[in-house]
């Protein structure tokens, strides 16, 4: 018995050794062929030289790093972590514990992909524009057919390498990267080809890929309304909007730090032409073709929503983000919910985003925690409470801007239910505005892209402004977008109504700018109008005055009209959405 038993035991041990040998000898993962280095509990796998950059669909080399969990060979749930305009793959990289970095996500078990968008940094930016493959590696300011497809192409490579799980991919990013993440969500399991048509998203070896979730932050959804706004519904294009030159100038200043196509290139890349057209201050046929391109291929406003809808979305947007105000988020949110009211889309709103937003640290941390839970449930199968479809979590603006948190949080089952009442302001007196505007000194002191927290700075009253609607505050919290309605009689072409909402102190003669907007008048427009402002969350203290100032010019925030015009406004009603219920506060009515 002893001998047969020992032989069997030895045979079993040998079989076990042979069975274990492949696992023991299994090579460490090498994303894009790049070696990984242990780094504070994760593995960092960078592109270290131009020759190591993987190629996109059209041969353009893309500089990209991958960060992996400390152990495992994949396929991993994967996060596409995308930088803002002018940034690079390093924008959200860290080797230490910080919120919202490659390290943070990799420590949670994700493979994290951090690419540099084409036209910047090592992806054919100015310093690498002369390297092979970069002959047409220009920035196209976030074209879904190029920059977004680059990301999809790289992801497909990682799927074929066994790094990324094709059914557990999420995307997040800030600003530029927020727009990319929104486009990836709407594409979901598709790519968009250079001719504008769609095709299935597959890896080079043919594996189907579908985005599982997206958390776009400070996002945009409509490329045209970055440069023009008409004051109507979020994705309205009729009439063409007033040019928001101050915002456009900010975009192009950053864009020109990248690799820019020479004049005369195809329209999608000729961004020097875009700027020249916008600088002219009027919408011509050529300018409209450029805006059509921005609408169709820079965002999701021009995309059909398939019956399956986009990937689950947690959309973050800032009341006080002058560059991408909440209309950018609401356009996507409402388009999705029109197709399917139960679609998995939710909003995070606050005093955050681009300047003059304050980005209060506690609010940002709360949203980060919610975003991590969202990805955990969607990508890792964690048992977390799902975010109800259509729901909203919001914080308001608070002064001083250095306060750790804004007002709130406020929650609702939908954006429309975030405000529970309204304060209405009316005037029976006709008001006249002209293309001259009012105080240019004040207008220049409050440009759209003012510094962070600039809305908290008290301003002197403009004694030259005459078109005002005001009332004493009953002590209410505005939460949403004010709406101005009335009748207009316009004389002249290319007119506009600019509006500012002020909180005027009861004593001291100072006021704070709370929100603003611009409404594009049609030539010699007559009849009723409805004007939607950017919105905010703000507490108007009892006894303060809510003042709505109407102007025919608010430059440099909005480009002044190229023509002289005047407009008479009468029968005006301003509706301020508030958090209080009608029976909760005097002066509050049903919304």
Q: Which CATH architecture has domain 421-578?
A: Sandwich (2.60)
Q: Is the pLDDT of residue 24 over 50?
A: no
Give residue-wise pLDDT tens across range 84-104: 999 999 999 998 878 899 999
Q: Is the pLDDT of residue 21 over 60?
A: no
C-alpha span between 331 and 54 (Å, rounded): 35
C-alpha span between 370 and 383 (Å, rounded): 14
Phi and psi of 297, rounded to 5°?
Answer: -125, 0
Q: What is the rounded average pLDDT of the residues 216-223?
A: 97
Residue 49's beta-bridge partner residues? none
Q: Is the pLDDT of residue 548 over 60?
A: yes
Give residue-wise pLDDT tens across range 423-463: 999 999 999 999 999 999 999 999 988 888 999 999 999 98
C-alpha span between 258 and 130 (Å, rounded): 13
Give residue-wise pLDDT tens across range 480-496: 999 999 999 999 999 99
Q: Which fold has domain 31-225+299-390?
A: Rossmann fold (3.40.50)
Q: Is the pLDDT of residue 2 over 80?
A: no
Give residue-wise pLDDT tens across range 501-542: 999 998 878 999 999 999 999 999 999 999 999 999 999 999
Q: What is the pLDDT of residue 308?
A: 84
Which residue intervals of 390-510 are DSSP H helices? 440-445
Q: Is the pLDDT of residue 1 over 90?
A: no
Q: What is the pLDDT of residue 27?
A: 82
C-alpha span between 91 and 290 (Å, rounded): 30
Out of 51-55, 95-99, 134-138, 371-375, pick the least confident: 95-99
Confidence of residue 26 (pLDDT cuts 50, 70, 90): low
> What's the Cα-to-Cα distance from 304 to each of 239, 342, 347, rounded to whole Å?
22, 18, 21
Judge contact between 173 and 82, C-beta under 8 A: yes
Which residue spans of the chain are classified as CATH 3.40.50.1820?
31-225+299-390
Give residue-wise pLDDT tens across range 228-248: 999 999 999 999 999 998 888
C-alpha span between 567 and 524 (Å, rounded): 9
Q: Is the pLDDT of residue 12 over 70?
A: no
Contacts 24+ apart (CB under 8 A), 273-280: 274/141, 274/227, 275/248, 278/227, 278/243, 278/245, 278/248, 278/559, 279/245
Phi and psi of 519, rounded to 5°?
Answer: -120, 125
Q: What is the pLDDT of residue 443?
A: 94
Q: What is the rounded average pLDDT of the residues 220-228?
A: 96
Which residue spans of the chain are classified as CATH 2.60.120.260?
421-578
Give residue-wise pLDDT tens across range 378-418: 999 999 988 999 999 999 999 999 999 999 999 999 999 99
Q: What is the pLDDT of residue 418?
A: 98
DSSP assignment of 300-321: STTSPPPTT-SSPEEEEEETT-
Judge contact between 329 and 480, C-beta under 8 A: no
Q: Is the pLDDT of residue 212 over 60?
A: yes
Which 8-state DSSP code applies to residue 525? -
Q: What is the pLDDT of residue 508?
A: 73
* Statement: the pTM of the whole predicted model exceeds 0.75: yes
Q: What is the rounded average pLDDT of the residues 189-204?
A: 97
DSSP assignment of 181-248: HHHHHHHTTEEE-TTS-EEE-B-TT--B--EEEEEEES--SBSHHHHEE-SSSTT--SSPPEE-HHHH
Q: What is the pLDDT of residue 167?
A: 98
Give residue-wise pLDDT tens across range 135-152: 999 999 999 999 999 999
Confidence of residue 13 (pLDDT cuts 50, 70, 90): very low
């Amino acid at each position: 018995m002893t001998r047969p038993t020992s032989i069997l035991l030895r045979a079993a041990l040998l079989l076990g050794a042979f069975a274990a040998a492949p696992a023991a000898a299994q090579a460490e993962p090498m994303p894009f062929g790049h070696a990984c280095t242990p780094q504070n509990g994760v593995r960092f796998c960078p592109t270290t030289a131009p020759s190591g950059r993987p190629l996109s669909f059209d041969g353009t080399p893309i500089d990209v790093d991958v960060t992996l969990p400390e152990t495992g060979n994949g396929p991993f749930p994967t996060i596409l972590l995308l930088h803002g305009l002018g940034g690079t793959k390093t924008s959200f990289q860290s080797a230490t514990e910080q919120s919202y970095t490659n390290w943070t996500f990799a420590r949670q078990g994700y493979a994290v992909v951090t690419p540099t968008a084409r036209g910047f940094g090592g992806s054919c930016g100015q310093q690498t524009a002369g390297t092979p493959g970069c002959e047409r590696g220009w920035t196209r300011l976030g074209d879904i057919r190029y920059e977004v497809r680059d990301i999809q192409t790289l992801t497909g490579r990682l799927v074929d390498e066994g790094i990324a799980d094709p059914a557990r991919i999420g995307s997040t990013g800030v600003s530029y990267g927020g727009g990319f993440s929104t486009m990836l969500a709407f594409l979901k399991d598709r790519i968009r080809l250079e001719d504008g048509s769609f095709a299935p998203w597959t890896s080079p070896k043919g594996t189907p890929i579908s985005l599982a979730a997206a958390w776009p932050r400070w996002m945009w959804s409509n490329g045209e309304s970055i440069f023009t706004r008409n004051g109507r519904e979020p994705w309205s294009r009729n009439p063409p909007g007033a040019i928001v030159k101050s915002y456009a100038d900010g975009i192009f200043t950053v864009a020109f730090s990248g690799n820019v196509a020479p004049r005369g290139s195809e329209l999608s890349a000729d961004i020097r032409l875009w700027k020249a057209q916008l600088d002219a201050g009027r919408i011509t046929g050529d300018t409209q073709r450029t805006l059509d391109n921005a609408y169709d291929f820079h965002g999701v406003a021009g995309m059909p929503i398939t019956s399956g809808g986009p990937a689950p979305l947690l959309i973050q947007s800032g009341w006080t983000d002058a560059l991408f105000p909440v209309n950018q988020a609401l356009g996507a949110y409402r388009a999705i919910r029109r197709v399917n009211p139960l679609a998995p889309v939710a909003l995070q709103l606050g005093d955050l985003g681009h300047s003059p937003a304050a980005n209060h640290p506690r609010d940002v941390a709360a949203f980060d925690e919610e975003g991590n839970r969202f990805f955990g449930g969607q990508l890792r199968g964690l048992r977390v409470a799902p975010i109800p479809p259509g729901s909203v979590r919001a914080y308001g603006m608070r002064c001083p801007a250095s306060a750790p948190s804004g007002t709130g949080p406020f929650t609702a089952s939908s954006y429309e239910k975030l405000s529970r009442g309204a304060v209405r302001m009316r005037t029976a007196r006709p008001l006249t505005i002209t293309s001259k505007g009012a105080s240019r000194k004040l207008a220049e002191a409050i440009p759209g892209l003012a510094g962070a927290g600039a809305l908290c700075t008290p301003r002197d009253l403009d004694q030259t402004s005459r078109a005002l609607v005001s009332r004493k505050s009953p002590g209410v919290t505005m939460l949403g977008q004010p709406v101005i309605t009335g009748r207009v009689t316009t004389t002249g072409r290319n007119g506009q109504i600019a509006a500012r909402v002020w909180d005027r102190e009861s004593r001291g003669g100072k006021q704070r700018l709370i929100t603003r907007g611009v409404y594009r008048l049609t030539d010699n427009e007559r009849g009723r109008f409805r004007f939607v402002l950017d919105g905010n969350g703000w507490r108007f203290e009892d006894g303060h005055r809510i003042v709505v100032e109407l102007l025919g010019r608010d430059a440099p925030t909005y480009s002044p009209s190229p023509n002289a015009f005047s407009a008479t406004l009468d029968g005006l009603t301003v509706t301020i959405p508030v958090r209080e219920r009608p029976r909760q506060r005097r002066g509050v009515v049903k919304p």
